[in-house]
Amino acid sequence: MNIKKYLALFLFLYAGYALSLAQNSDIQGDDKGTVGASSQSSADTTTSSEEGLKKSGWSWGAVPAIAYDSDIGFKYGGVLELWDYGDGSLYPDYENYFYFEWSNTTKGSQIWEFDYDSRVLIPHVRTLVEASYLTERALDFYGFNGYETNYNSLFEDDSEDNDLYISRLYYRQERKLMRLRTDFQGRFLTDKAKWLGGVTFYNIKLDTVDIDRLNEGKDPADMLPAVGGGIYGQYTDWGLIPGSQINGGTSTLFKAGLMFDTRDNEANPMKGIWTEVLLFAAPGFLGSESTGYGKYSITHRQYFTLVPNRLSFVYRLAYQGKLWGDIPTYMMPLILNGGTAKDRDGLGGSKTVRGMLRNRVVGEDYFYGNLEMRWKFLQTVLFNQNIYLALNTFLDFGMITRKYDIENLETLVPGPEYRALFSDAATKPERPHFCFGAGFHIAINENFIIAINNGYAIDENDGDSGLYIGLKWLF
């Protein structure tokens, strides 16, 4: 597949699509409650400022979700975002924000997600609500503990001359995840400091990949071989995952913490810091595992202006670790966050270490970071909308600092051919996993941001590269 050709076609088509949205991206309501499209309401939704147009009232943006994967099938759906800027006094921040995402593939992978973010629902308290249901027929699974588990790309390379080929989906599992979250933020002593609190409920169901379903309708030459569940099936057969956790489970996390935030805006800060310290507690009686567990998270982000409103250097450093108990294996890949940041799979992929395989690095304690240069090379007002184009370059990294303890690994894994999946920790200890890359961003009214990033792994044990098309800056 010629990736460059398809990317160029996507950008060409999307440029016209985004501009068509820009012409009709302010929404106003009349006194009968109907909603129509307009570039300016009777209440004057735009006013001039030195940096462009100051927005008020409602604004919206939408992105279609169209993709194809030979194993997962044709993907279709879309994302809709709504912003309520009120009287415009908070711009580029907003009073209310709604996010809707739905997508489906012909083989059964689905995303149902709703987010609500309000600064006015409860006076002096920011309210964040999420309800999502995510079904993945082929979620990445590479084992535990980073470099302790080897990744061999030949196992999923179906070239005719490759004798080591097992399956294109050897490093995969099936997961259904339901997440219900409510978070609150409020002022703590000063306007720049905030307290955070909330609760999140997870219901996670795991299984091996349903090869028969994914093979439906395929030409025999393209069918996936039956491989006994791939690496996840082997982990369960060998007893590397506790029996009660093989098919997933539930967990209820209570969170509390403090945040210090001096950013000049949220969507793409040019200066300031954003630091969080969070504690998480999962009582055993509110989950599938009776023991319960606790975690902590420390995240520091800082933004430096190099050229006013044009060029900035930003970085993020984060550490998450276990405080007590036993973290279930089905919860271990999730990176826990507070505030507007959602819990993410990790490490690896579009939201943590770009260019590394998603979920490549999984353990009990881990550290990760991102260094990034951002350049707004074009800023203008087009069709009554504030628009900027930006480029970025980045260096991402992460590593395990406390491993998931697998007792009697040598005796549980049968035969030298399977033990080759695991490296000798004495000769290949865990160390930072590095990736680098660059990206392109299109922003409409500061908050609707189309992000395209391409990352490359430095070590082939972390994969090759990753192309990510989504919304918003990384942090």
Q: Is 315 exposed, middle or buried (0-12, 13-18, 19+ CB in 10 A)?
A: middle
Q: Tens digits of per-residue pLDDT, 291-308?
A: 899 999 999 999 999 999
- Distance in angstroms (rounded) separating the CA atoms of residues 166 and 230: 8
Provide the pLDDT confidence category of residue 53 given band limits of 50, 70 and 90.
Answer: confident
- Distance in angstroms (rounded) separating the CA atoms of residues 270 and 303: 6
What contacts 376, CB < 8 A, 6 or more positions away?
309, 310, 311, 388, 389, 390
Q: What is the mean pLDDT of residues 436-440?
A: 98
Residue 25 to residues 60, 267, 301, Cα–Cα distance (Å): 5, 18, 31
Q: Tens digits of per-residue pLDDT, 144-154?
A: 999 988 899 99
Supply angle C-alpha 318, 323, 328, rounded to 5: 90
Tell me if 465 sits within 8 A of 153, measured CB to CB: no
Tell me if 361 sits within 8 A of 384, measured CB to CB: no
Mean pLDDT for the chain?
86
- Which residue in this structure is represented by tokens 């009990």? 364
Residue 451 to residues 12, 160, 445, Cα–Cα distance (Å): 15, 36, 15
Q: Within 13 Å of residue 28, how many CA atoms lie on the same side as its CB?
A: 16
| More confidently predicted of 141 and 43 | 141
3-29+57-471 CATH pick, 3.30.56.10, 1.25.40.10, 3.40.50.300, 2.40.160.50: 2.40.160.50
Provide the whole-model pTM. Answer: 0.82
Q: Tens digits of per-residue pLDDT, 168-188?
A: 999 999 999 999 999 999 999
- Distance in angstroms (rounded) separating the CA atoms of residues 229 and 246: 12
Tell me if 288 sits within 8 A of 251, measured CB to CB: yes
- Distance in angstroms (rounded) separating the CA atoms of residues 57 and 83: 8
β-bridge mates for residue 122, sequence order: 125
Q: What pLDDT shows up at residue 44?
A: 35
Provide the pLDDT confidence category of residue 36 given band limits of 50, 70 and 90.
Answer: very low
The count of residues in the chain is 475
Provide the pLDDT confidence category of residue 440 given band limits of 50, 70 and 90.
Answer: very high
Q: What pLDDT shows up at residue 401?
A: 95
> Is 80 exceeded by the pLDDT of residue 142?
yes
Q: Tens digits of per-residue pLDDT, 4-18?
A: 444 444 444 444 444
Give 421-424 contacts, CB < 8 A, sequence gap 24+.
421/143, 421/149, 421/150, 421/152, 421/231, 422/143, 422/148, 422/149, 422/150, 423/147, 423/148, 423/149, 423/150
Q: What pLDDT shows up at residue 13?
A: 44
Structure-block tokens of residue 293: 């567990």
Q: Provide the H-helix boundaries in 23-102.
A: none
- Distance in angstroms (rounded) separating the CA atoms of residues 380 and 166: 52
> Is 90 exceeded by the pLDDT of residue 396?
yes
Is it true that the peptide bond before 92 is cis, omega within 30 degrees of 0? yes
Q: What pLDDT shows up at residue 443?
A: 96
Residue type, 211: I
Q: Tens digits of per-residue pLDDT, 110-131?
A: 999 999 999 999 999 999 999 9
DSSP letter at 263? -
Mean pLDDT lowest among 19-23, 233-237, 244-248 = 19-23
- Distance in angstroms (rounded) separating the CA atoms of residues 306 and 294: 40
Give 166-169 contacts, CB < 8 A, sequence gap 24+.
166/225, 166/227, 166/230, 167/211, 167/224, 167/225, 167/227, 167/230, 168/71, 168/224, 169/71, 169/138, 169/209, 169/211, 169/214, 169/224, 169/230
Provide the pLDDT confidence category of residue 254 given band limits of 50, 70 and 90.
Answer: very high
Q: Tens digits of per-residue pLDDT, 331-354?
A: 999 999 887 777 778 799 999 999
Provide the pLDDT confidence category of residue 426 given band limits of 50, 70 and 90.
Answer: low
What are the boundaries of each domain within the chain?
3-29+57-471
Q: What pLDDT shows up at residue 307?
A: 97
Q: Tens digits of per-residue pLDDT, 54-65?
A: 788 999 988 888
Q: What pLDDT shows up at residue 52?
A: 61
- Give kind and range of the element (H or E) at residue 372: strand 365-382
User: Is the Cα torsion angle 154, 156, 159, 160 positive or negative in sign?
Assistant: positive
Q: What is the mean pLDDT of residues 233-250?
A: 92
Other beta carbons within 10 angstroms of residue 288's beta carbon come to: 18
> Is 90 exceeded by the pLDDT of residue 139?
yes
Q: What is the mean pLDDT of residues 102-110?
A: 90
What contacts 394, CB < 8 A, 6 or more positions away?
354, 370, 371, 372, 373, 436, 437, 438, 439, 453, 455, 474
Assign 3-state DSSP to the chain and report helix, strand, coil percentages, each to 5: 15, 50, 35
Provide the pLDDT confidence category of residue 417 given band limits of 50, 70 and 90.
Answer: low
- Distance in angstroms (rounded) separating the CA atoms of residues 331 and 328: 5
